[in-house]
Amino acid sequence: MCFLAAILGLSPHVAFAQEEDGSLWRDEWPQFRAIEGFFTTGALLGMLVFMRAGTATEPRWSGGILFDDAARDALRLHTPQARRTAQKVGDVTYFMFPVIPIGVDVLISSLAVRQDTKAALNLTLVSGEAFAYSGFLSFVVNWASARERPEVTGCRESNGGDVSKCNLLSRTESFYSGHTAMAATSAGVVCANHAYMPLWGHPAADAFACALASATAATTGMTRVLGDRHYMSDVILGSVMGFGIGYSVPTLLHYRVPGSVQDMRVVPGVEGSDFGLTVTGQF
């Protein structure tokens, strides 16, 4: 509502609760707990085990399902150079996943601007928790499915083709897209944090943060299809799982615990003026 009001020129003012110590992290929200640290550490160790063990050498599943083949034919770039470029772009957007939730929201907004160490610490730990869970689940599903990447399947079916593609070390890591999942996890974390805290100072700016992170995730996923690294089903499931984990971890474990959400009221007027909308309450 606030974002729509801003677009319509209604000059919204959103009143978020802020603790007496000046922190955006409310007292009724549980801070990062030991049990969360235990499971986060377990997920990180699990990822290390999978990384050391390596991927399956032979695929247990190859080929597309549902609309995969049609999407691949329509979207896959036709030249090897173009596909490599798409893959490089996807790598860049993938490695950018910590930029908004950690680089901007923690280091700049929470620490540099507000000196809010309480919010900064919890945002860092909760974001790391979501990334750990998402990464571990991606490794588990990759190992269990051992789906052959489309470019490898295409190489085999063309009787050799580019030998480097036929012998790709990550040939069985197609399902689901880990790049997309991590970028989508970042988007989920950003959208959740900005829905409950005015980290960028205005509802329109906070909505933009969510949109920007989501667009980055969508770009990452699309490059994986354009570059022939994943089928569309790999990207869709990676997006759903990643965003779901990213949004659910902070929301369900911290922001939406019993007693943390109170009624929201929309009333006319802006503090110190007689026009616009004021949204008050905790949400």
CATH classification for the domain delimited by 65-257, as one of 1.10.8, 2.60.40, 1.20.144, 1.10.3470 = 1.20.144
Contact 268, 277 (CB under 8 A): yes
With CA atoms as reference, report the closest residue to 90 among 177, 211, 210.
177
Cα gap 31→142, rounded to integer Å: 32
DSSP H helical ranges for the chain: 2-7, 34-53, 68-75, 80-95, 117-145, 150-157, 163-166, 178-196, 203-226, 232-250
Cα gap 147→153, rounded to integer Å: 10
Can you give the pLDDT at residue 147? 97
Cα gap 229→88, rounded to integer Å: 11
Where do the structural domains in the chain lie, given as residue ranges? 65-257
User: What are the pLDDT digits (tens) for 149-204?
Assistant: 999 998 888 875 566 678 788 899 999 999 999 999 999 999 999 999 999 999 99
DSSP bridge pairs for 265: 280
Q: How confident is the model at residue 21 (pLDDT cuts 50, 70, 90)?
A: low
User: What are the pLDDT digits (tens) for 57-97?
Assistant: 899 999 999 999 999 999 999 999 999 999 999 999 999 99
Cα gap 237→173, rounded to integer Å: 14
Q: What is the mean pLDDT of the chain?
A: 87
Q: Which residues make Cβ contacts (< 8 Å) with residue 8, sequence separation at least 6?
A: none
Q: Which residues make Cβ contacts (< 8 Å) with residue 143, sequence separation at least 6?
A: 50, 55, 56
